[in-house]
With several copies, the nearest count.
Chain A
Amino acid sequence: MTHRTMDSVRSSKGKNRRTPRSADEDANAARRTIATPGVEDLRILAADGSVDRDLDPHLDDDELLRIHRAMVLTRVFDQRMLTMQRQGQMGTFAPGAGQEATQIGQVYPLTERDWFSPSYRSFGAQIWRGWEMERLMLLWDGFFEGFAPPPGVRDLPFSIVIGSHVLPAVGVAMGMQYREEDSVMVTNFGDGALSQGVVAEGLNFAAVNQAPIVFVCENNGWAISTRVEQQCHVDPLALRGVGFGVPSIRVDGNDVLAMIVATREAIERARHGGGPTFIEAVTYRMGVHTTADDPKVYRTDDEVEAWEDRCPLRRFGIYLLGRNVTDQAGLERIQQECEAEVLAARDRFRSRAHAKPREAFDFVFADMPDELARQRQAYLEKLDRKGVE
Chain B
Amino acid sequence: MPELTMVEALNRALDEAMEHDPDVLLMGEDIGVNGGVFRVTKDLQAKYGVNRVRDTPLAEAGIVGTGVGMAIAGLKPVVEIQFSGFTMQAFDQIEQNMARYHHRSRGRYPISMVLRTPYGGGIHAVEHHSESREAYWAHTPGLKVVVPSGPRNARGLLAAAIDDPDPVIFYEPKAVYRAFREEVPDTPERIPLGTAEIVRDGRDITLISYGAMMRPTREAADDLAELHGIDPEVVDLRSISPMDTDTLAASVARTGRCVIVHEGPRNCGVAAEIIARLNEEVFEYLVAPIKRITGDDIHFPYFQTEEHYLPDPDTIIEAVRETVAFDG
Contacts and interface: CB of A to CB of B under 8 A. Distances in A.
Contacts of A223: 29, 58
Nearest to A353: B304
A321 interface: no
A355 B141 CA distance: 22
* Interface band, chain B: 35 or more
A231 B55 CA distance: 9
Interface string B55-78: 111110110111111111111000
Contacts of B314: 385-386
Nearest to A379: B296
A154 to B, nearest CB: 10
A176 interface: yes
A196 B297 contact: no
A208 B32 CA distance: 16
A167 B302 contact: no
A175 B34 contact: no
Contact of A171 (B55, B69, B92): B69
A366 B112 CA distance: 9
Interface string B106-125: 11111010000000000011
B97 A168 contact: yes
A382 B70 CA distance: 38
B210 to A, nearest CB: 17
Contacts of A38: none
30 contacts: A10-B32, A12-B50, A91-B124, A92-B126, A142-B124, A142-B306, A144-B301, A148-B106, A160-B127, A164-B93, A164-B97, A167-B93, A168-B65, A169-B69, A171-B73, A172-B69, A175-B69, A178-B70, A178-B73, A179-B74, A193-B58, A197-B61, A223-B29, A226-B58, A357-B305, A364-B142, A364-B297, A367-B164, A375-B266, A386-B308
Contacts of B187: none
A11 interface: yes
Contacts of B262: none
B254 interface: no
A196 B59 contact: yes
A6 interface: yes
Interface string B138-177: 0001101000000000000000000011100000000000
Contacts of A364: 102-103, 141-142, 297-299
A361 B127 contact: no
Contacts of B112: 366
Interface stretch (A73-81, A199-207, A268-276): A199-207
A351 interface: no
Interface in A178-214: 178-179, 192-193, 195-198, 201-202, 204-205, 208
Contact of B55 (A178, A225, A232, A370): A225
Contacts of B85: 161
B305 A372 contact: no
A371 B34 contact: no
A366 B105 CA distance: 12
Interface string A1-20: 00001110011110000000
Given A148-B108, A195-B57, A196-B58, A6 B51 contact: yes
A370 B194 contact: yes
A235 to B, nearest CB: 15
Contacts of A292: 37
A7 B52 CA distance: 11
B54 interface: yes
* Interface band, chain A: 35 or more
B147 to A, nearest CB: 16
Contacts of B30: 224-226
B105 A297 contact: no
Nearest to A144: B302
Interface in A223-237: 223-226, 230-232
Given A225-B32, A225-B33, A371 B245 contact: yes
A215 B127 CA distance: 23
B77 to A, nearest CB: 8
B69 to A, nearest CB: 2
Interface string B285-328: 00000000000111101111110110000110000000000000
A293 B30 CA distance: 11
B194 to A, nearest CB: 6
Contacts of A120: 126
A383 interface: yes
Given A178-B75, A204-B57, A298-B33, A147 B106 contact: yes
A292 B104 CA distance: 23
A364 B99 CA distance: 8
B234 interface: no
Nearest to B109: A156
Contacts of B315: 382
A91 B109 CA distance: 26
Contacts of B32: 10, 12, 225
A7 B105 contact: no
B106 A144 contact: yes
Given A142-B304, A157-B105, A170-B65, A226 B97 contact: no
Contacts of B56: 205
Contact of A360 (B25, B65, B73, B298): B298
Given A175-B73, A363-B107, A379 B65 contact: no
Counting from the closest, the 5 A-B pairs by CB-CB distance are: A171-B69, A167-B65, A175-B73, A369-B242, A171-B66
A381 to B, nearest CB: 10
A359 B298 CA distance: 11
Contacts of A360: 296, 298, 301, 305, 308-309
Contacts of A382: 308, 315
A361 B35 CA distance: 37
Given A360-B309, A362-B106, A92 B33 contact: no
Contact of B58 (A157, A162, A168, A365): A162
